[in-house]
Amino acid sequence: MGRPLSSGSWGRLAFAGAARTAVADWRFEALPEADEGDSLLARGWGRSYGDVCINSGASHLDTTRLDRFIAFDAQTGILRCEAGLTLAQILEVVVPRGWFVPVLPGTRFVTLGGAIGNDVHGKNHRHAGSFGCHVRSLTLLRSDGERYRCDSEHNAELFAATIGGLGLTGLVLDAEIQLLAIDSAHVECEDLLFSSVADFARLYEESSDWTYTVSWIDCSARGGSVGRGIFSRARHAAGGDRDPGNSAPRLAVPFTPPVSLVNRFTVDVFNRAYYTAGRRRGGVRREHFQRFFFPLDGIDGMNRIYGRNGFYQYQCVVPFGGGVAAVEELLRRIAASGEASFLAVLKAFGERASPGLLSFPRPGWTLALDFPNRGAKTLQLLASFDAVVRDAGGAVYPAKDARMPADMFAGGYPQLERFRPQVDPAFSSAFWRRVQA
Amino acid sequence: MTVKTIIAFGATSAICVALLRRYAAAGASLYLVARDESRLAACAADLAARGATVTGTSAYDFNDAHRHSAALDDAAAALGRIDLVVVAHGSLPEQADCERDDALVRACMEDNLTSAAVIMHAAARRLEAQGSGTLAVISSVAGDRGRKSNYTYGAAKAGLDAIAQGMQGRFAGSAVRVVNIKPGMVASPMTAHMEQGPLFAHPEDIAPRMQRAIERGSRVVYVPGFWRYIMWVIRLLPTAVLARLPI
Ligand SMILES: Cc1cc2nc3c(=O)[nH]c(=O)nc-3n(C[C@H](O)[C@H](O)[C@H](O)COP(=O)(O)OP(=O)(O)OC[C@H]3O[C@@H](n4cnc5c(N)ncnc54)[C@H](O)[C@@H]3O)c2cc1C
Ligand SMILES: NC(=O)c1ccc[n+]([C@@H]2O[C@H](COP(=O)([O-])OP(=O)(O)OC[C@H]3O[C@@H](n4cnc5c(N)ncnc54)[C@H](OP(=O)(O)O)[C@@H]3O)[C@@H](O)[C@H]2O)c1
């Protein structure tokens, strides 16, 4: 079974650690006293890739013991629970009773508080919007000692700031979410090959009656093959059992190799094999939802394969207006760089507005890439991506970021000035200090 | 034997919660007893949402020895029959503090031994009258041998061992089972101040083994299982050697 990361983050980059970690055990307790000059940051399971969940030199507040259900109405699918409960734990309880978490990221080992803090998205953004769209209300504990019940009518500004608020508005103690009714734990899904980004865009347009769509891009493809990949689409199946299938990972990466196992050569081999396997897997099939949603959760410690220096993720969104040109440009730059991205994922965000002031999802194409950390070379490549994204009027996702400059953040988040007054003066993060610089 | 009805003393303890969540998922009926009223309410709501029927709760300090049999009566009335009694509460003072503070020594004995002993005796009467049922007590590896790092707590837990052993003799040949659960180091509020080394387990990791031991009626179970071997070695160590180890 997955475990919370008690320090650091998923990318395993070397950030300076927190000076202290306090544990939040019960939702009716007070926040720990912060000394002069100290600050607090709530942490979930540390599945963010960079420093939004890191408060270097200051205090972390471990929320993973706030893992209690408060109320679950199996008639209406309204669930209230504490913020440290993971989506995995929620699914285990609600799936057998015919309910589903309406927005799921690519791992189930994230907490409710983390899902709110980054206003995470899933493969169904076109239909469901971001996670925050399903949060009916939440309770926020701030350093003034008050508990704020927030929803779209009460403390509405604080509610909007807290969704996607990167933990900066206080400690989310609990939240109430609306679940999605399902008939079965299985999905119907289908994989289709595409040969270019334009081809991907066409498949996406044609798939509006599929709830979930996502695609994998072969980043080692060269020349005329740049932009080829596999498009997957799925919808909840009817009939069948509702076994939550929350099994332990089948494989594990037992130790961290000194150098990244992900390099140009291995990615080449993997991608070719994967693409070829995709070609053979035709037609609509039935799969358990865990397999479709969380393929990476099957391997424990997957993030270790990038070696001791860790890795960078880069996820951006570019508006539909510019077509797929910016995505194509990014892929060309990867091909030219000689760097390898193992998991390149291309999705789309639909028109449904995200409720958070700093929410990342907005209409457009969203590309997620990962690169083993090779120091300055990698950072240069990512900076060159920034230029493309900036020109296209896009934004970079803080949950995956460890290096974007302040102007990139300000440019991508137009509500930043409206957000600022809602920040709790006793809360901060390494990310926040970095993007203020 | 499958367990359908449970009374849990110390129901807000992290280890007990992890165990009860497994029974909740299976739809068990619970009666929960703990010291703190708000914590108890939070745990009761959690277990109910996970599928348990919470038939009643009772909040009081377990050093109020006269309240235990009333809680058991109440539970028996609510549950009908009691399949399982869990005794899970405890407190872990710093050994160095015990060496300075006599009141703390006494509190340690009361929290870990006196209160649990009274509950076990009262529960045994109840199960004996029923003619069957399981009494599971959480003692500790600390009771296996007096060690300088935690002998006050260890002595109290060793007392629980003696009671469990005696009761196993008393109920031999009957359908009443007494299960002595000995956790090693477990990450919980009790140990939050300690450096969490590789020997630490998580409550949800040890819960399945606890549940299996309860269902089989095992006399003693170490959780995680490797502690059985560690403690076997520690019990065999010559006193002079043990004295030199930092444990
Ligand atoms: C394999 C993998 C796949 C992923 N796929 C996706 C994806 O498809 N879509 C997507 O959007 N994201 C994805 N992510 C990113 C992940 O969903 C987010 O980073 C998520 O926020 C992590 O949750 P966490 O519980 O680990 O929170 P952390 O990473 O610990 O914290 C995230 C943020 O939330 C704040 N926070 C956490 N708990 C609280 C609280 N109780 N109160 C206030 N603030 C709090 C923290 O301060 C921090 O700013 C993926 C990550 C991995 C590892
Ligand atoms: N964690 C370990 O490493 C470890 C190892 C071996 C054995 N154990 C044993 O496992 C059991 C559970 O501990 P845990 O790890 O789950 O720790 P925990 O979460 O701290 O639980 C301890 C519980 O005991 C309760 N308690 C203490 N004194 C009490 C009293 N006088 N009256 C009523 N309740 C009282 C506490 O109630 P409040 O919430 O009101 O404080 C708390 O619920 C204990 O018996 C412990 O000794 C633990």
Q: What is the ipTM of this complex?
A: 0.95
CB-based contact B49 A69, cutoff 8 Å: yes
CB A34, CB A60: distance < 8 Å: no
CB B35, CB B89: distance < 8 Å: yes
Q: Looking at the predicted structure, is the pLDDT value of residue B42 above 90? A: yes
Tokens (6 digits) for A219: 């980043």
DSSP annotation of A306 reads G
Higher pLDDT, A15 or A248: A15
Side-chain half-sphere of A333: how many Cα atoms within 13 Å?
Answer: 18
CB-based contact A72 B49, cutoff 8 Å: yes
- Indicate the average pLDDT of chain A: 94
What structural domains does chain A harbor? 186-401 (3.40.462.10)
Cα A430 to middle of ligand 1, angstroms? 15
- Indicate the average pLDDT of chain B: 97
CB A162, CB A139: distance < 8 Å: no
CB-based contact A26 B49, cutoff 8 Å: no
Identify whether B153 is a catalytic site residue: yes
Distance (Å) of CA A70 to CA A59, A67, A162: 27, 10, 20
What is the band of B240 on the pLDDT scale with cuts at 50, 70, 90? very high
Ligand 1: which residue has its CA nearest to atom 49?
A166
- Over residues A25-60, the pLDDT tens digits come to 999 999 998 788 899 999 999 999 999 999 999 999
Higher pLDDT, A64 or A221: A64
B89 lines ligand 2 (CB under 6 A): yes
Q: Looking at the predicted structure, is the pLDDT value of residue B157 above 70? A: yes
CB-based contact A70 B51, cutoff 8 Å: no
Comparing CB atoms, the residue among B39, B49, B204 nearest residue A71 is B49
- List the 74-103 stretch of A: residues with Cβ below 8 A of B: 81, 92-93
Homologous superfamily (CATH) for B5-244: NAD(P)-binding Rossmann-like Domain (3.40.50.720)
A113-117, A297-301, A390-394, B104-108: least confident range? A297-301
- Over residues A181-190, the pLDDT tens digits come to 999 999 999 9
Distance (Å) of CA B229 to CA A411, B144, B184, B202, B226: 60, 12, 11, 19, 6
Q: Looking at the predicted structure, is the pLDDT value of residue A281 above 90? A: no
Domain segments of chain B: what residues?
A: 5-244
Nearest atom of ligand 2 to the alpha carbon of B15: 16
Q: Which helix (H) or strand (E) holds A157?
A: helix A156-162
The region that residue A258 occupies, defined by phi over 0 for left and psi between -120 and 50 for alpha, beta otherwise, is alpha
- List the 197-216 stretch of A: residues with Cβ below 8 A of B: none
Q: Looking at the predicted structure, is the pLDDT value of residue B217 above 90? A: yes
CB A162, CB A138: distance < 8 Å: yes
Contacts of A74 in chain B (CB under 8 A): none
CA dist., res. A113 & res. A215, Å (int): 27
pTM: 0.96
- Over residues A192-239, the pLDDT tens digits come to 999 999 999 999 999 999 999 999 999 888 788 889 999 999 999 998
What is the band of A364 on the pLDDT scale with cuts at 50, 70, 90? very high
Angle of CA points B227, A26, A86, to nearest 5°: 70
SS3 A264: helix
